[in-house]
Structure 1
């Protein structure tokens, strides 16, 4: 039996700080040029296209783009192009295709349709010579290196960092550049936070909710997927603003809920929601900067809200790897899954 530190998932998630530090340095010139071009001719909208963890990164990108460059961002369904072969009207749009492997046929077909429809195609890929990269007008390499665990970790975090660096170069925001400069060290500091309460509380459960809002919603989506993928645990992700609209009826005594929060305008409402769950008898863990208490999952205090989800997800990956082993699974080899899913 592997120990928690022996899994590829643990090792690759642990490497994310170094991966991102290198990525930010090597991609700086590329993204400075791209940011200048986007400032000179802003797109009328941004369309993202991805699946799985990459789509969760796109959910994070939506909040980053809309709050920092003020351009409406929406997710495209790959099936519209790959199955229904519908033409796309995307004149003056920026089409952001996100894929670790760059090999999925439906994403490739969607990128081709976007170009034919008048969009500028931007690919975030880890494999620089992939088919998707060859279709794109511009490629932002993730530079995560080979990822051997089936569960994507460092490539997901590298995608979020690439989105942030693109946005910083596009907006010219000094505060965002400063947040990026400190990000690798913040990740190293967050890695050792004590999240042991989460593993102890989830070892025997079968279902849970994962909740986040704003920048943290993508983290909730990603955590719910990894619970299913690596731990055999059914998890559903919700926005803290949406979970009251029906799903909250399921929450009662002993029901487990994992809440992600960051120190911005969403925090007060998110913590209030956690208290409402506790009042119903639910078991609630809150992952937020400076969190304290028996079911707190602390993160370093003073971290910029926009980068907090990267710290939370990286530390979550470490916890999920250990929980997977405790539940009798191998996080590196989830049943019935492969590293590359080539959806048609």
Structure 2
């Protein structure tokens, strides 16, 4: 199979981000100024699937840069259980490609009724979630035809990080996000054969990260399930040495997204421990590891932005893995683009 929609959409990501950054620049700054003035007490996120991984990434950025607690709301609290929450002085951020899943829409509406300021990071500007929000930062990812979300997922990461960069008045983070489209447009090296072979032949693996790369690990594991039918489980490197390590057998693959901040040394200590149990590490990092096969991702100039570039690089590997396993990444069995969960 050649010319998949997934591959085309991965290539279009830089262009989509330029569109988003240009279109939203003034609105993001205005909204950030309003949030600073309002001094909210905490941030809640509303999302499912890949979008919930974007919310997990946003949690990391919010808590580090703003000092506000950030937690994911279970949409079924509103859509199924109809339980009111107390969200006075909260900011509720909905992240969705379609903005149409009934439980996401219901949770956003309930959060507004409970006193939260509702912000939507949504690709479809005419969707119920977009229209019901107090503020909309559209993703501007364009049409995404592959079931596997790639450019809309990265657009969600950038929209959230851009809001926090302006909200916290972090010029370095904002500058790195502005240059990210050019980073993603650059030609990246192919994965080493050892990594391609491992993913093409395995039935199960762990994906690990820490801090900003934990959300990326969660997303990578989902994509391997979705596009290649690999039983991939994601863990923080702070947790994987507890119960999960018990399933490691000789040659068991562990795909690790290396952080570039204070978590880096501990992350690699965990990788070494897993290797001592017999695991076969595969690394995604900005530089080649001295021992383990490495998918080299570009350095985007900031420890909160480089993980986004690493995910973009991984998406190319995921698409190639799916095709090598004889699957169609655009149309995985049992899955639909919009999940209409109640």
Structure 2 residue matching 1:258: 3-state secondary structure: strand
Q: Which residue of structure 2 lines up, in the alignment, with residue 100 of structure 1?
A: 97
Cα separation, 2, equivalents of 1:166 and 1:59? 15
> What are the superposed Cα offsets for residues 66-99 of structure 1, whole Å, 9 maximum, x if unpaired?
1111110001100111110001110010001111
Structure 1 residue matching 2:181: 3-state secondary structure: helix
Q: 2:297 aligns with which of 295, 299, 317?
A: 299
Structure 2 residue matching 1:124: 3-state secondary structure: strand
1:71 aligns with 2:104: no
Cα separation, 1, equivalents of 2:107 and 2:260? 36
Cα separation, 2, equivalents of 1:14 and 1:42? 39
1:221 aligns with 2:234: no
> Conserved in 1, the CA contact under 8 Å of 2:183 and 2:300?
no
Q: CA RMSD in A?
A: 1.2
Cα separation, 2, equivalents of 1:285 and 1:188? 24
Structure 1 residue matching 2:158: 3-state secondary structure: helix
> Conserved in 1, the CA contact under 8 Å of 2:109 and 2:132?
yes
Cα separation, 2, equivalents of 1:139 and 1:302? 27
Alignment of 1:177-192 (within 5 A): 177-189=174-186, 192=188
Structure 2 residue matching 1:290: 3-state secondary structure: coil
Q: 2:28 aligns with which of 18, 27, 31?
A: 31
1:194 aligns with 2:217: no
Structure 1 residue matching 2:95: 3-state secondary structure: strand
Structure 2 residue matching 1:30: 3-state secondary structure: helix
TM-score for the superposition, normalised by structure 1: 0.96
Q: 2:14 aligns with which of 2, 14, 17?
A: 17
1:167 aligns with 2:164: yes
Number of residue-to-residue matches in the alignment: 340
> Conserved in 2, the CA contact under 8 Å of 1:198 and 1:285?
yes
Q: 1:141 aligns with which of 126, 138, 158?
A: 138
Structure 1 residue matching 2:18: 3-state secondary structure: helix
Q: Which residue of structure 1 lines up, in the alignment, with residue 250 of structure 2?
A: 253
> Conserved in 2, the CA contact under 8 Å of 1:291 and 1:299?
no
Moved over 3 A (4+): none
- Residue ranges of structure 1 left out of the alignment (5+ in a row): none
Moved more, 194-203 or 330-339: 194-203
> Conserved in 2, the CA contact under 8 Å of 1:230 and 1:331?
yes
Cα separation, 2, equivalents of 1:72 and 1:132? 23
Structure 2 residue matching 1:141: 3-state secondary structure: coil
Structure 1 residue matching 2:201: 3-state secondary structure: coil
Cα separation, 1, equivalents of 2:76 and 2:288? 41
Structure 2 residue matching 1:66: 3-state secondary structure: helix
TM-score for the superposition, normalised by structure 2: 0.97
Structure 1 residue matching 2:120: 3-state secondary structure: strand
Cα separation, 1, equivalents of 2:174 and 2:112? 31
Cα separation, 2, equivalents of 1:199 and 1:152? 21
Q: Which residue of structure 2 lines up, in the alignment, with residue 279 of structure 1?
A: 276
1:85 aligns with 2:112: no
> What are the superposed Cα offsets for residues 21-65 of structure 1, whole Å, 9 maximum, x if unpaired?
221111000001001101111210000010000000000000011
Q: Which residue of structure 2 lines up, in the alignment, with residue 49 of structure 1?
A: 46
